[in-house]
């Protein structure tokens, strides 16, 4: 019986942007980093028709779809929508395994919500309708007897469909699929198998376990042979605690000024702590990531006395780590993360930052004082106009300042015109379209980037009326129909 449900939201980031921006509905939308080194995070299905896809360099996407809307991600909005979707999934079963903001497994057997294939299909259809009613977005659902097959089914059902793989049909369905369909087969493994003459799942099944073990090793070979035969006994695991929280930025041009690099590290540390606190966690180990001009990547870490979510502690630890990294030649990417997560904060860490600052001050004073070591010399430490305290970072250009303050697609509020979103900025100007999720497409206006009446704003919720779904799934009618089975899809 198909007891595992896999939900995958359709073009999630781009669809959420279309739902919140009436003027973009039905139009190509690309979400990702907009700088010269940016990559596509998600493309709407309208943009995919031009060949744009995730992980593509943004410059290439612009060549393929020059008239698409290009937006910077708004993770605050995506998390809010994801929370709504996960809450609906939690009504189906206590065993929900989120894989990301837009994807999750559900064990229907544990929830007692499906007794057979027909009831599993009904639940899948009800779920899709509930998600659309509450969020305005669509999702694709796969149903099967295992996680692997349920995920394959949802992929086959995309976009906005549902598919069930009936027991006994697994081998037939999997046979013609490429080897990369199976979990654990990446580009390197696929290339290794191709050189051995295996390009389809059927090739793996027919090769036998011994041959795959010879090629890939005991654990990987045995696991792959079982999956090629349609077997996957991995359970749905409700608790998937994050092992770390991190943020990183790739810069449009390499950073050379050491003070600018430090200020970026401190800014990233603050963003990292914001995410840490949003997850109601604390962490013990601070990690710094630096990718240099030659693409070499260095990581440094420092373990604190205990877990913390204090921005000062994380910021100063990251700055100390930077001191051990040679940034000569330029920096392409910086990242700050926290690992060793916990659900509590070690209170004495709040004093740790002050202690370490005091110790650093004393050391600097003694070094400045030299052999005399007098108190007067210590009092003057760090104030010499020629010392590092007086070094100023490279000033950002007006274009860089505008892009940082007014990212394309992000929310703003104007005292006279209300809520809107940034269409673009440049030459000291920012262009805004004023509209809300439930409004008609709005008007466009342009302002100076320093207009005192214009300021950044939080995303507006995707306004929906979920009242009819307060007792879902029991009271939700089975209003969608369609023959759905192994190898088939349903469309609204």
> Catalytic amino acids?
103
Say if CB 103 and CB 10 are below 8 A apart.
Answer: no
* Closest residue by Cα to residue 115 from 106, 123, 104, 127: 123
DSSP one-letter code for 39: B
- DSSP letters, 298-339, are EEEEEEEEEEE--HHHHHHHHHHHHTTS--TT-EEEEEEEEE
Instruction: Report, in angstroms and rounded to the nearest whole number, the Rg of the chain calculated over CA atoms.
Output: 27
Q: Tell me the C-alpha distance between 37 and 40, whole Å.
A: 10
Torsion of CA 224, 230, 233, 237, to 10 degrees: 90
Distance, CA of 61 to CA of 30 (rounded, Å): 8
Task: Pick the closest to residue 408 from 52, 167, 140, 70 (CA basis).
Answer: 70
How far apart are the C-alpha atoms of 385 and 362, rounded to whole Å? 19
Helix (H) or strand (E) holding 446: strand 443-448
Helices and strands: H and E segment counts in the chain = 17, 17
Question: What CA–CA distance (Å, rounded) separates 44 from 29?
Answer: 5
Question: What are the CA-CA distances from residue 446 to residues 56, 165, 345, 418, 454 (Å)?
Answer: 31, 53, 46, 14, 11
- Residues paired with residue 275 on neighbouring β-strands, in sequence order: none
Query: Any idea of the CA torsion for 385, 386, 388, 393, to the nearest 10 degrees?
Result: 90
All residues at 6 or more sequence positions from 29 whose CB lies less than 8 Å from its CB, including other chains: 14, 17, 18, 43, 44, 46, 47, 68, 69, 71
* Residue-by-residue DSSP string for 377-433: HHHTTT--TTSGGGPPPPPPPHHHHHHHHS-TT-EEEETTTEEEEEEEEETTEEEEE
> Bridge partners of 103?
8, 100
Tell me if 368 sits within 8 A of 314, measured CB to CB.
Answer: no
């Amino acid at each position: 019986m198909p007891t595992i449900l896999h939900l995958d939201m359709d073009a999630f980031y781009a669809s959420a942007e279309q739902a919140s921006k009436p003027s973009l509905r039905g139009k190509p939308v690309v979400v990702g980093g907009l700088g010269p080194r940016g990559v596509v995070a998600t493309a709407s299905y309208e943009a995919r028709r031009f060949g744009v896809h995730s992980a593509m360099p943004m410059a290439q996407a612009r060549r393929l779809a020059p008239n698409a809307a290009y937006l910077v991600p708004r993770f605050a909005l995506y998390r809010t929508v994801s929370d709504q979707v996960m809450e609906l999934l939690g009504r189906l079963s206590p065993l929900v395994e989120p894989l990301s903001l837009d994807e999750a497994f559900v064990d229907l057997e544990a929830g007692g919500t499906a007794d057979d294939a027909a009831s599993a299909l009904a639940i899948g259809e009800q779920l899709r309708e509930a998600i659309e009613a509450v969020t305005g977005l669509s999702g694709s659902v796969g149903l099967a007897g295992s996680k692997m097959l349920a995920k394959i089914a949802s992929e086959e059902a995309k976009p906005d469909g549902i598919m069930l793989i009936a027991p006994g049909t697994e081998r037939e369905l999997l046979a013609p699929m490429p080897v990369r369909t199976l979990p654990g087969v990446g580009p390197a493994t696929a290339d290794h198998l191709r050189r051995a003459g295996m390009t389809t799942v059927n090739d793996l099944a027919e090769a036998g376990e011994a041959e795959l073990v010879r090629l890939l090793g005991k654990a990987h070979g045995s696991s792959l042979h079982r999956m090629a035969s349609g077997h996957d006994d991995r359970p749905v695991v409700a608790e998937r605690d994050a092992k770390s929280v991190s943020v990183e930025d790739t810069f449009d041009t390499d950073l050379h000024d050491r003070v600018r690099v430090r200020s970026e590290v401190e800014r990233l540390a603050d963003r990292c702590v914001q995410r840490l606190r949003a997850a109601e966690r604390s962490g013990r180990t601070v990690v710094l990531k630096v990718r240099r001009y030659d693409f070499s990547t260095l990581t440094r870490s420092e373990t604190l006395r205990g877990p913390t979510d204090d921005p000062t502690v994380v910021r100063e630890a990251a700055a100390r780590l930077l001191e051990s990294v040679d940034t000569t030649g330029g920096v392409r990417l910086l990242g700050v993360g926290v690992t060793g997560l916990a659900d509590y904060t070690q209170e004495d860490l709040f004093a740790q930052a002050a202690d370490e600052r005091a110790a650093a001050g004393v050391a600097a004073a003694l070094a400045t004082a030299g052999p005399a070591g007098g108190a007067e010399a210590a009092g003057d430490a760090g104030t010499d106009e020629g010392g590092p305290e007086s070094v100023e970072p490279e000033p950002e250009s007006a274009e860089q300042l505008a892009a940082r303050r007014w990212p394309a697609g992000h929310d703003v509020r104007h005292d006279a015109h209300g809520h809107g979103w940034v269409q673009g900025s440049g030459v000291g100007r920012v262009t805004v379209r004023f509209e809300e999720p439930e409004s008609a497409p709005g008007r466009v206006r342009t302002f100076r980037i320093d207009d005192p009446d214009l300021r950044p704003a939080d995303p507006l919720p995707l306004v929906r009326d979920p009242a009819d779904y307060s007792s879902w799934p029991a009271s939700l009618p089975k209003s969608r129909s369609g023959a759905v089975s192994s190898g088939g899809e349903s469309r609204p």
